[in-house]
Amino acid sequence: MKALVQRVTEAAVEVDGREVSRIGPGLLVLLGVRHEDGPEDVAWLARKLPALRIFTDEGGQMNRSMIETGGSLLVVSQFTLYADTRKGNRPSFIVAARPETASQLYEELVRQLRAQLGEGRVATGVFGASMKVRLVNDGPVTIELCSDP
Eight-class DSSP state of 25: S
C-alpha of 48 from chain center: 11
80 part of the active site:
yes
Q: Can 79 be counted among the known catalytic residues?
A: yes
Coil, helix or strand at residue 75: strand
* Beta strand pairing call for 55-56 and 62-64: antiparallel
Packing angle, helices 39-51 and 99-117, rounded to 10: 40
- From the candidates 6, 79, 112, 124, which is the catalytic residue? 79
Residue 127 known to be catalytic = no
* Catalytic option among 6, 55, 61, 78: 78
Please tell me the distance from the alpha carbon of residue 43 to that of residue 109, in angstroms, as a whole number: 7
- Hey, what's the torsion of the CAs at 40, 48, 9, 110, to 10 degrees? 30
CA distance 75 to 108: 12
Tell me which of 9, 55, 56, 80 is the catalytic residue.
80
Residue numbers annotated as active site: 78-80
